[in-house]
Structure 1
C-alpha cells in the first residue's frame, strides 16, 4: 500500500481561486437576500482556507455588513453587531445556536430541518472555537 503524500503547501494560485470562489458565493448570497454589493473592505476581511471567509462589505445603499462563506452556511449581519471579523464569528456562532435550537425544537420539524439544526450547531461550535484561538488573530 502506498503511503499518503505529505500535506503539500497551498499554492498562491489555489489560494486566489478559493478566495475568489468564496467571494462569489458570498456576493450571490447577499444578492439573493436583496443586498447589492458595492465594495469589499479587504483590510478588515479575513479567511481561513479551506474553512471560512469573513468579508466586510459595503452595499450599494452604503450600509456595511459582515458576510460569511466557506464550508458552512452563508450568512450576513450588520456591522453594528460586530466590531471586527473575530466578533463577527462570535455573532454568527451565537445566532446559529439559537436558530438551531428553534429548528430542532419546533413541533413540526421534519428530518431535514433537524439535520440542518445539527449542522448549524456543529458549525457554530467550530466558529466559537476559532474565535477563541488566539493564534488565528495575530
Structure 2
C-alpha cells in the first residue's frame, strides 16, 4: 500500500517501508478490534503515513461507521471520522486529545513512575503531531 503523496525517509528501502506500513496497519487494526470495531476496508487515498513515525488510517468499519486510527512511534488510538475531515485534521485532533488526556492525568495526581512516563509520552507525541499538522511541506 503506497500513495504518491507520502513522505519517505531516504534511509529506508521500499521493502522496509512496506513492512513498516504493514506492521502499523496490523497494530491499528488490532487496537480497533480490541475496542469492538471490526474493519471492513481502508480508504487508502485518505490514509497517510510517514515511516517510521506515524501512520494515519481512514477506516470504514462493518458497523458502517468511519474512523481515523493512528499508529507508529506513539500510542495507538482512534477517533470517529466525524472528528476530522482529513488525515491532517486527524493529526490535530489526536494532538489535542492527548494534551487533554495528559492534563486530566496530571490533575488526578501522578501516583507512580509509569503514569508519569505515560503523561510525558502523551505530551511529547501531541507536540510532534501538531508540528506535523502545521508542516506545509508535508501537505502540499
- The TM-score normalised by the length of structure 1 is 0.91
The question of 1:16 aligning with 2:4 is answered no
Report the alpha carbon displacement of residue 108 of structure 1 after superposing the two structures with TM.
5.9
Provide the C-alpha distance between the structure 2 equivalents of 1:115 and 1:105, rounded to a whole number of angstroms: 15
Matched residue, 1:109: 111
- Structure-1 residue corresponding to 2:38: 36
Alignment of 1:59-70 (within 5 A): 59-70=61-72
- Aligned residue number for residue 4 of structure 1: none
Confirm whether residue 56 of structure 1 aligns to residue 27 of structure 2.
no
C-alpha contact 2:110 2:116 (8 A) present in aligned 1: no
What 5-or-longer segments of structure 1 have no aligned partner? 1-6
1:119 partnered with 2:129: no
Q: How many residues align?
A: 132
Q: Which has the higher contact order (CA 8 A, sep 6+)?
A: 2
Task: Return the alpha-carbon distance in structure 1 between the equivalents of residues 10 and 131 of structure 2.
Answer: 25
Is the alpha carbon distance of 1:8 and 1:47 closer, same or farther for their aligned partners in structure 2, counting shifts above 3 Å?
closer
Structure 1 ranges of 4+ moved more than 2 A? 107-111
Q: What is the CA–CA distance in structure 1 between the aligned matches of 2:129 and 2:50, rounded to whole Å?
A: 11
Alpha-carbon RMSD: 1.3
Structure 1 partner of 2:81: 79
